[in-house]
Structure 1
Amino acid sequence: MNTVDKVLVPAGPSENTPTRGGSAMTEAVRGTSRALGWIIERVAALLIVAEIAVLFAGVICRYVLHRPLIWTDELASILFLWLASLGAVVAFRRGEHMRMTALVAMASPRVREFLNVAAISAALAFLLFVVEPSFEYAAEEAFITTPALELSNAWRASALPCGLSLMALFAVLRLIEVGDWRLVGAAMATVAGMIAGFVLIEPFLATLGNLNLLVFFVGVTAVTVFAGVPIAFSFGLATYGFLALTTTLPVIVLIGRMDEGMSHLILLSIPLFVFLGLLIEMTGMARAMVAFLASLLGHVRGGLSYVLVGAMYLVSGISGSKAADMAAVAPVLFPEMTERGAKPGDLVALLSATGAQTETIPPSIVLITVGSVTGVSISALFTGGLLPGLVLAVTLCAVVWYRYRKEDLSHVRRATGGEIARGLVVALPALALPFVIRAAVVEGVATATEVSTLGIAYSIVVGLLFYRRFDWGRLLPMLVETAALSGAILLIIGTATGMAWSLTQSGFSTTLAAAMTSLPGGAAGFLAVSIVAFVILGSVLEGIPAIVLFGPLLFPIAREIGVHEVHYAMVVILAMGIGLFAPPFGVGYYAACAIGRVNPDEGMRPILGYMGGLLVGLIIVAAIPWISIGFLG
């Protein structure tokens, strides 16, 4: 996600929940889980390789051989839903689905154990509710035939029931692994009791009308999210409850919306750019860029902090993966910055702030998501995202200048011209990659979905021939990591799409539009309220869920009151990024601390100044639309 990545995801229930049993049955369950997980991880990894091969072949045949393959998009779409579903299974087994753990972490150890087991139980409840409708949905899709390959659409639609069933199986295995039957029984009884309570008050809910929107989409969602239930399952439970208990619509509608949300072909960019981000770190391309910038600025006061800001800007333009960005830059710079006297808290504070600053740098996963759910041109978003990120970089640099204006550099040696030149030669292939990606889209060589495969091919060639650093043994773990992160993101998009559809069908979007258009101050008031809302949403729901849920509702309103959709996208993405990386709730901040191996308490005070700089930059971007749309042509 230039947002939520694997490292941004707090450990899920299966990692946090203690296992107490050492019995033969428990060991057998663990062995079964490991064996089944081993198979699924490798299938998911093969699906990513297949997607890269299919899309790359499509580009070569169309642009080089001038013999387009008409079936590549169709096959990629079929494989993609399977990748999304199995990736979600991998993430579930590894405990890597995104969840809000700020309040859970404050609880006593025993309460924390209970909440973690309850989170698995709640996820299992949702999975059991939707497994049967998902099989019905796949059966209905069997009557549809794909146009190019002439395959039954059941081949694609079967991915959802398969993935949901496997996640339910892993939930059961995990509950058995816990070994404390009193704890498991109490957690399952609590979840079952809450569900039974809603079923009993169904007649009362029928009298509430649209107040049910507050009950389910605010009440149920908030309670489950803050209790540590993974966000995707919180959205799913709220939507399922709303449809089943307050409407006459069949719940199979939710499966259809999940299918629609998870299989949009443009979202295939997410796993491919995540893999590209991991690839540039592994091949040493990111390290080469950072080293060149350090040779340019390392001798000035605060120079390495400027390098950190610039390196995050450049790396974000390649990887699209926030985890890859921070993990590639921090280990290179932090040791030298620490030797120069920088405090660990200030380092992670700046690293976190640069994470928020670069949310609009293409190929941002959030930009791709915005385009997929709102219909805004991905190419326009990629063009419009460069300057807003640069504005926030300037405001961050102003804070850096103020903080380091008295830094002692008497012991720092300035790089010679020859050293800088050599650094530039080494870094050139890496520096060229963002321009290769951008040119391929602009010149029509590849679509926004396909261009990531060109970046992957370029990185492999450069890593093998130029940097001569390519660890073949890391490829499989990287592919599995990509599948898990992508599955976690796409399952959120699927359930959030179902929730957004329910909100729209209820008439909420009309009410929201009327309220937002009547705000005082016109477009300026609308932007101000949107900034506040997305800062809060970014810290609570994280980026992609907030965008998927509210983007389809708010972007039409922005157009109606005269706010350019690309300008609005930049404003809300940056606001969401500030929330995502701001403590105490923003999980991005804790990811930066994890990468820097610094106690989160140490960065709480230093980050206030950097967040202030980001807010100033955001206000500038919001006040001057040209920054976002000046180069759209």
Structure 2
Amino acid sequence: MTSTATEYGAARLARWLRTALSATAAAVLAATLGLVLLSVILRYLFQSGLIGTEELGMWLNVALIALGAPLAMSGPLAMRLDLPLGPKAEAAARVIADAISLIAAFVLVFGSARVIALIGGTSPTLGLPEWVPFAMTATGGALIAAILALGRIGERRIASLVASAILAALATLACLRITFETTLPPSAVIAICAGIGLLAAAPLAHAFLAAAMAAMPFGGNLAAETMVTTAVSGMSRFLLLAIPFFLLTGAALSASGAAKHLVTFAASLVGHRRGGLAQTVLATGTLFSGASGSSVANAVFSATTFHPELVRHGYREARAGAIIAASSVLDNVIPPSIAFLILATATDLSVGKLLVGGLLAGLLMAASLAIAIHMTSREQGGGPRATGSQRRGAFLAALPAFGLGIIVVFGIRIGIVTTTEAAALAAAYTLALAVFARNRNTSLFSVFRQTAAEAAAIGLLIGSAGPFAFQLAVDGVAGMLTAAAGAFGSSPAAILAFAVLVLLLAGLLLDIGAAILLFGPLLLPLATTAGIDPIAFGVIIVTTLMIGGLTPPVGMLVLVVGGVADIPAGALFRAVLPYLAALLAAVALICAYTLLI
């Protein structure tokens, strides 16, 4: 077989494997949704239930992550940092990034195999061996390596693949065989190695797993099987099922056409003001926040929908992208918020109370952005003022989308349904809207496939951050933060100032999900000891970290908008400064209010 035939065959096999994984992951997501909905029906209509629903749901979530994670190695949710590098530096970075992904795959496969060999017993509710989730995790690791290898062969980068494999093998062997005497804590080694992986444009979840292994020669407490056990434990929480369901809700809402009705309604409210189109973008983002719960999803939607129109109406490309990126911050603050779900998982805070606090904080941030847009849009006028009948018509058309707020916020806060049940009901509601709309441009199958890949990327990140969080606890980093906070003083204001500073610095380098998982459990005890309300502090954690989506070098929202709209990241980071200042002012007001309650 010739070299060209080999490359063609590898590329074709990679496409087939991706298609098969995508379809299977979509089916698993559909089955998980059906399971939770059936449980809700039995519970509320028949006062009955299914034995083992929660455990089966968690196992299905692990399966979804294992199947979807290989599909999320590229794209915005891979959490890659793509720096502008020269040809030689870029080639070297690719080798390092692929080596990191191969090490992460090895950790998942080898660690899972060790756990399977050690674990015994069967699930009392499902009657299946307890090693099943670990077998799924091992499969996910093998699929990551397979997709990576086939992709590089198909791209005619066989030499690069060989170099990456050799580097990964040598690094893994060194980590297993060599021990160093050093005073550097293992958690610091993980942070440094993860940072190197990030600079090399490796997926953040892969960088965390590889970095945890790199800490072993420096006294790290995490063998491969411990890393996998910690990761699977982090993924296996029933509350986390709400994440794919909320992502599905946002995707189905767009497919139903209801998102366009939200745009029309937003334009009828603010389109006539100065900078009317930009204010419409903000108002739409505020309304759409109540559906998707994902800032990245809204950034993609708004960049695709609004950026060309903003430019056509006289906004500079960078300014238009900055407005879209800043408005997208609201999606992880206004409920349903995936960020608050992750925080509740990491700290055991009440999801319902966090969502209510997030709603108030999100509206304040939206008001601050509205003022900033008004001040920076002196040259852009508004359109004609909508009449009363036009506003009523736009409201009635958008009314089905507002039903989500009743299902999610009030359902959870009042205690009628759990968070996961509310997310499943919201997904079913928007899927029904999509079916009723009969939009031929987007199939429901594609909605499930897209959501499965996005949910898997977030789930793998949650799991991969577990070993790092465990090592932080072992190294006593919480005590170090307490000692450092002492330099600021012991008053609630001083502790809050210290916490916000730490969160802002974390937001410069970490994705919000990873930052919440790592710093939420560390800072919350510090705040509660100082007498700060834990729910209010949880809101501050999310709002402060969301600002990191706009700050270099890892401003995820800026990178996503820049990628969709083809705008240099540097220009976007400069253009977003006025809106960044507005959001910081909003966080300052939230902090001031927190100190008063």
Structure 2 residue runs of 5 or longer lacking an equivalent are: none
2:539 aligned residue = 570
- Whether 1:161 aligns to 2:138 is yes
Give, in whole Å, the separation in 2 of the partners of 1:557 and 1:514.
10
Shift of residue 511 of structure 1?
Answer: 2.9
Give, in whole Å, the separation in 1 of the partners of 2:500 and 2:26.
38
- Whether 1:106 aligns to 2:84 is yes
Give, in whole Å, the separation in 2 of the partners of 1:547 and 1:476.
32
- Whether 1:217 aligns to 2:190 is yes
Pairing 1:380-395 to 2, within 5 Å after superposition = 380-395=353-368
Pairing 1:41-440 to 2, within 5 Å after superposition = 41-92=22-73, 98-102=78-82, 105-143=83-121, 145-192=122-169, 202=179, 205=180, 207-209=181-183, 211-214=185-188, 216-243=189-216, 246-247=219-220, 250-334=223-307, 336-405=309-378, 407-408=380-381, 412-440=383-411
Query: Structure 2: which amino acid aligns with 1:42?
Result: A
Is the CA contact 2:550–2:573 (under 8 Å) kept in the aligned structure 1? no
1:16 aligned residue = none
Q: Secondary structure at the match of 1:51?
A: helix
Match 1:526 to one of 483, 495, 508: 495
Shift of residue 312 of structure 1?
Answer: 1.0
Shift of residue 610 of structure 1?
Answer: 1.0
Shift of residue 175 of structure 1?
Answer: 4.0
Is the CA contact 2:273–2:279 (under 8 Å) kept in the aligned structure 1? no
Give, in whole Å, the separation in 2 of the partners of 1:335 and 1:98.
26
Taking a change above 3 Å as real, the CA distance of residues 65 and 132 of structure 1, as seen in their structure-2 partners, is: same
Match 1:623 to one of 583, 589, 592: 592
Give, in whole Å, the separation in 2 of the partners of 1:213 and 1:159.
28
Query: Structure 2: which amino acid aligns with 1:430?
Result: A
Q: Deviations over 1:547-596 (max 9, x none)?
A: 11222222122212222222222222122111112345312112123344
Pairing 1:392-541 to 2, within 5 Å after superposition = 392-405=365-378, 407-408=380-381, 412-465=383-436, 468-471=437-440, 474-517=443-486, 519-520=488-489, 522-541=491-510
Give, in whole Å, the separation in 1 of the partners of 2:221 and 2:314.
65
Is the CA contact 1:317–1:362 (under 8 Å) kept in the aligned structure 2? yes
Give, in whole Å, the separation in 1 of the partners of 2:573 and 2:135.
47
Give, in whole Å, the separation in 2 of the partners of 1:472 and 1:178.
31
Query: Structure 2: which amino acid aligns with 1:37?
Result: R
Taking a change above 3 Å as real, the CA distance of residues 327 and 127 of structure 1, as seen in their structure-2 partners, is: closer
Query: Structure 2: which amino acid aligns with 1:211?
Result: P
Q: Secondary structure at the match of 1:385?
A: helix
1:555 aligned residue = 524
Shift of residue 201 of structure 1?
Answer: 5.5
How high is the sequence identity, in percent, across the aligned residues?
Answer: 27
Is the CA contact 1:535–1:575 (under 8 Å) kept in the aligned structure 2? yes
Q: Secondary structure at the match of 1:544?
A: helix
Is the CA contact 1:290–1:332 (under 8 Å) kept in the aligned structure 2? no
Match 2:21 to one of 31, 40, 43: 40
Number of positions where the alignment pairs a residue of Structure 1 with one of Structure 2: 596
Taking a change above 3 Å as real, the CA distance of residues 194 and 89 of structure 1, as seen in their structure-2 partners, is: closer
Taking a change above 3 Å as real, the CA distance of residues 129 and 460 of structure 1, as seen in their structure-2 partners, is: closer
Give, in whole Å, the separation in 1 of the partners of 2:328 and 2:161.
38
Q: Secondary structure at the match of 2:182?
A: coil
TM-score if structure 1 supplies the norm length?
0.87
TM-score if structure 2 supplies the norm length?
0.92
Query: Structure 2: which amino acid aligns with 1:164?
Result: G
Taking a change above 3 Å as real, the CA distance of residues 177 and 97 of structure 1, as seen in their structure-2 partners, is: farther
Query: Structure 2: which amino acid aligns with 1:567?
Result: A
1:6 aligned residue = none
Structure 1 residue runs of 5 or longer lacking an equivalent are: 1-20
Taking a change above 3 Å as real, the CA distance of residues 306 and 380 of structure 1, as seen in their structure-2 partners, is: same
Q: Secondary structure at the match of 1:106?
A: coil
1:544 aligned residue = 513
Shift of residue 210 of structure 1?
Answer: 5.1
Q: Deviations over 1:259-303 (max 9, x none)?
A: 111121111111111111111111111110110121222222223
Which segment is superposed worse, 247-256 or 368-377? 247-256
Give, in whole Å, the separation in 2 of the partners of 1:169 and 1:504.
34
Give, in whole Å, the separation in 2 of the partners of 1:567 and 1:357.
17
Is the CA contact 1:523–1:563 (under 8 Å) kept in the aligned structure 2? yes
Give, in whole Å, the separation in 2 of the partners of 1:183 and 1:157.
31
Q: Secondary structure at the match of 1:146?
A: coil
Q: Deviations over 1:36-85 (max 9, x none)?
A: 22222211110000011000111111112222333321221121111111
Give, in whole Å, the separation in 2 of the partners of 1:132 and 1:38.
26
Q: Deviations over 1:425-477 (max 9, x none)?
A: 21111223222322322343321011112112222333344xx2434852222
Which segment is superposed worse, 225-234 or 184-193? 184-193
Query: Structure 1: which amino acid aligns with 2:130?
Result: N
Q: Deviations over 1:394-425 (max 9, x none)?
A: 1111112222356445xx43322222221122
Taking a change above 3 Å as real, the CA distance of residues 248 and 84 of structure 1, as seen in their structure-2 partners, is: closer
Give, in whole Å, the separation in 2 of the partners of 1:543 and 1:272.
19
2:581 aligned residue = 612
Is the CA contact 2:273–2:381 (under 8 Å) kept in the aligned structure 1? no
Relative contact order, higher structure (CA 8 A, sep 6+) = 1
Query: Structure 1: which amino acid aligns with 2:156?
Result: G
Match 2:551 to one of 559, 575, 582: 582
Taking a change above 3 Å as real, the CA distance of residues 99 and 192 of structure 1, as seen in their structure-2 partners, is: farther
Shift of residue 34 of structure 1?
Answer: 2.1
| Deviating 4+ runs (over 6 angstroms) | none
